Chain A
């Protein structure tokens, strides 16, 4: 639908609502019939076509219906309709219907766009879903150009040909949209009983940039064509009963989730070839196959069920137990090792099967008991289990084809990942009065990872929290948390480096941070002061430090600090002021050792990276209304500045740090409101937004890069651009 049609439809809808509004009220005398809508027109402009401005939304241009809400009820029936940005890419509409307390039906539909870039260019054409082709003449020219001359001359000819082709390449929008339709029906047939059925369909379509290489150092950026759907259905039966002060609740839930990818493979042309060949070295700059073939995300299914029981004995004891099981399966047919017809071995080494026949069983259970040992003190014991068991048979492959170029005769065995997490803890709370409360936690976390370097770990966590409310309006909170993750008996570190054939290819002793022994300390403090409804003030901060003391390589330390200040002030009934400041800093320190074809164990190749990501955000706003309330004015300024630094060092002292990066966004909105009639307001809005990027790896993404040598990559040119945007809107808001 073009913009003209959309505008006309939006305008028509607005007029219909405007005319019909009084009718609704008249038709529903002695019952609830009320609503509101906001309709208007808007104009906006952007200095550069950067998709970030509309990353997850559509900023309407022309007439639009910003929102509506309508509620009608009579006796036991209540209907509510609401929506925002109707007919736009980010529209959301919802309906809720009650028939007394016995029936409730909710239906909603939401669209969430994800615009990635509007300036990408590509020489590829999508001739059918998932099949991207280049002009044969381009492939033939490039292949022919590789058949004579020196390597440097060949590279120069390839770059020149591709640069011309890319400069004339077509523009293609990069982004996708998720459309979510949901329905929920809740029925209460008899006292205590409740049935609930939920269903949702989540469709996603569009495209996102995707890497598709033919050889080392010669990445080709195409796009992943997306046409996926996800269907979920859940049924729940609950029963609850309260007798005297004791209560019981029981709940059975079962459901199914199905993911379907309508484009299950991606086929794309190799710009360098018009006929298939193989390349002896896996490190070639991208010869070999005429085209590549990649398996896109396979269809999968999940079936699950769980039961939950809750018991309360007076106000003293509350017991909660749950148990659940789920099975995830995936059975998509395998693609061949490669589509390269020149690889002779493909005839000699058939695939060991037709599909993965993947099957995973997830068991989860939890038990929680809260016991009020005294009127002011509670003890809470808890246990949680999550067990991910992989029941997929292993598959033994005689080898594989590297990037559709060359057969690699290394036997590869697929093994499913499985793991188990268990957490047991005790929490004690003592709250003698509203002024003071203290809580403590002791928790043990046990992880089992049979396929990882650390097979078994345990972490003892201690936490203490204090709340103080010394006087009306004051609330102070402090929290300390300490955790120590370490090896558990029988789960010693097991990594002497990954062996490929007989060659050690990974640095021994590299400890992967998600499991490595770690000491974690976290501190949190906050003060909130709200002496009256007129004003409130809050300040808070957190500090977290992860210390991987036993690690020599990998992530060695991570620190995160946050700070916040918030103020709200209402000097008079007609004026409200607010301001906030937030700060976040994340710093990581990691180490590695450089190796060539064989691993180098000497520290002479050691290097370190100290990375810092910081964010400062601040906002200030006001809302004022004139005496009598006819006029109103409000404004909001919002800013975010996010600098990052990348400090690199090595043993040889030759490392040069990367230039720092910074992302900055500022926006301001001013709204003027005029009460035209008792039920009608006119709104005028002006908004400004500025986005600045300083990131060398994303702000100037070229179409081909670098321009010399054989290690060049073809990109979509999806650079992030600085922009300034202005928006003006004139709106009418009507309540009825």
Chain B
């Protein structure tokens, strides 16, 4: 009985899936008229578009898509053109206006060409699931991008990200920070805003994989491993910035003492009178345990060599 119920459930699910996946019926009669027709009214946009990277799609349309140019994104324009700018004419609204579409729908237009590479995981990205559209960050018609790449709307990528992720702005301004403020890096160096298989849309399958893609020295594997280092760099570091040296998540030695309570010095309370010693000073525990990310030395079990 239970098996039959399960079978019925699976069959019903498949039927629903098949029904929902059925292609929508063809609608309307607009036909493709070419970008020249659009340029008659939208001269400024068309001019800028001539030196836009998307214009290249018109040159090699055979390798890009069936329809390119204005109608590649906005759909067949014969009816819209026939309305001759009369907004009250129902034909005027027969083209797709991405800014008026739901984010998921407008992004689907972009995805009809941009489905692989950086955009492979767009559907599963937090941005897609949170109503972010491609056009929120990219300006499609402009002749060139202020950032000089990717048709981005702003010159500095990070400024664009913190418009929504405002809570990261304070962390990024901290004394210990990655070279983001100075322009050596941007959010997009670690995160793929188009989605990824990693958490938080990082450009790696794990935090550690991402970090060691630049910090290759820490990749190991080592003879003596420090387990949290191997598992997740973020256990000890705050990559968005912190008040502590090396973007550490807390002040040493207390950061280390969150896990280490061994006999002798690891469990000692270092308080104000200990400022005269060298265990609170400078790099604290790593004054001696300098190989904290792992050691390949036969005498390096305690990361001193």
Contacts and interface: CB of A to CB of B under 8 A. Distances in A.
Interface in A294-339: 294-295, 297-298, 300, 302, 308, 310, 312-318, 320, 322, 324, 326, 328-330, 332, 334-338
A71 B242 CA distance: 40
Contact of A712 (B53, B222, B278): B278
B20 A259 contact: no
Interface stretch (B29-37, B77-85, B88-96, B256-264): B256-264
Contacts of A451: 227
B108 A71 contact: no
Interface stretch (B2-10, B38-46, B284-292): B284-292
Given A320-B121, A362-B205, A562 B167 contact: yes
Interface string A27-60: 0000010000000000000000000100111000
A242 B23 CA distance: 13
B115 A249 contact: yes
A599 B263 contact: yes
Contacts of A661: 243
Contacts of B284: 697
B182 A56 contact: yes
Contacts of B144: 71
B21 A317 contact: yes
A400 B281 contact: no
Contact of B299 (A236, A338, A696): A338
A110 interface: yes
B293 to A, nearest CB: 8
| Interface residues of chain B: helix, strand, loop or mixed (majority) | loop
B206 interface: yes
Given A431-B131, A506-B262, A655-B269, A251 B56 contact: no
B297 A295 contact: yes
Nearest to A439: B129
A713 B197 CA distance: 47
A96 B151 CA distance: 13
Interface in A543-585: 553-555, 562, 564, 566, 580, 582-584
A525 to B, nearest CB: 11
B71 interface: no
- Max chain B CB contacts within 10 Å: which of A114, A335, A661? A335
A452 B105 CA distance: 46
A593 B305 contact: no
Interface in A164-200: 188-194, 196
B297 A362 contact: no
A481 interface: no
B34 to A, nearest CB: 18
A213 B287 contact: yes
Contacts of A640: 170, 173-175
B28 interface: no
A259 B269 contact: no
Interface string B224-250: 110110111001000000111100001
Given A295-B300, A335-B298, A583-B170, A592 B197 contact: no
Interface in A582-606: 582-584, 588, 590, 592-599
Given A90-B182, A386-B206, A592-B267, A188 B60 contact: yes
Interface stretch (A7-15, A152-160, A363-371, A629-637): A363-371
A697 B171 contact: no
B262 A498 contact: yes
A219 B304 CA distance: 11
Nearest to B221: A358
A117 to B, nearest CB: 11
A590 B174 CA distance: 24
B256 to A, nearest CB: 11
Q: Which of A251, A642, A648 lies at the interface centre, i.e. has the most chain B CB atoms within 10 A of its CB?
A: A642
A607 B131 contact: no
A594 B115 contact: no
B64 A188 contact: yes
Interface stretch (A18-26, A122-130, A483-491, A608-616): A608-616
Given A238-B116, A513-B259, A542-B167, A356 B296 contact: yes
Interface in A75-124: 75-76, 78, 80, 82, 84, 90, 92, 94, 96, 98, 100-102, 110, 112, 114
Interface stretch (A132-140, A388-396, A678-686, A724-732): A388-396
Interface residues of B, number: 121
A76 B53 CA distance: 11
A659 B231 CA distance: 34
B300 A417 contact: no
Nearest to A399: B299
A370 B272 contact: no
Contacts of B301: 400, 412, 414
A217 B264 CA distance: 12
Nearest to A108: B149
B255 to A, nearest CB: 9
Contacts of B61: 101
A244 B117 contact: no
B272 A659 contact: yes
Contact of B269 (A57, A648, A712): A648
B288 A211 contact: yes
B184 A646 contact: no
B261 A617 contact: no
A482 interface: no
Contact of A211 (B175, B219, B224, B290): B290
Contacts of A242: 65, 112, 115
A364 B63 CA distance: 32
Nearest to B184: A112
Contact of A711 (B60, B277, B282): B277
A431 B102 contact: yes
Contacts of B296: 295, 297-298, 330, 332, 334, 356
A460 to B, nearest CB: 16
Contacts of B283: 209, 211
Contact of B221 (A94, A313, A328, A351): A328
Given A314-B22, A590-B257, A390 B231 contact: no
A384 B185 CA distance: 28
B261 A658 contact: no
A244 B24 CA distance: 9
Contact of A611 (B123, B174, B175, B250): B250
A312 B120 CA distance: 12
Contacts of B170: 562, 564, 582-584, 615-617, 640
B116 A617 contact: no
A436 B173 CA distance: 34
Interface stretch (A142-150, A271-279, A401-409): A401-409
Interface in A390-440: 390, 392, 395, 397, 400-404, 412, 414-417, 419, 421, 423, 427, 429, 431, 434, 437, 439
Given A429-B129, A582-B166, A78 B304 contact: no
Nearest to B50: A32
B197 to A, nearest CB: 5
Given A295-B300, A330-B220, A386-B205, A598 B63 contact: no
B23 A593 contact: no
B259 A245 contact: no
Interface string A225-260: 000101010001011101011110101000001010
Given A190-B62, A310-B123, A380-B129, 20 more contacts: A55-B179, A102-B63, A114-B179, A188-B60, A196-B117, A211-B287, A242-B65, A249-B120, A251-B116, A259-B217, A259-B219, A337-B298, A359-B221, A371-B17, A384-B197, A416-B225, A555-B258, A584-B167, A597-B263, A656-B272
18 contacts: A92-B183, A94-B148, A114-B179, A364-B206, A371-B20, A414-B301, A417-B230, A423-B199, A452-B227, A562-B170, A564-B167, A580-B169, A599-B263, A609-B254, A613-B243, A615-B174, A697-B275, A715-B281
Across the A-B interface, give the 5 residue pairs with the lowest CB-CB distance, nearest first: A259-B216, A56-B179, A582-B170, A313-B21, A297-B217
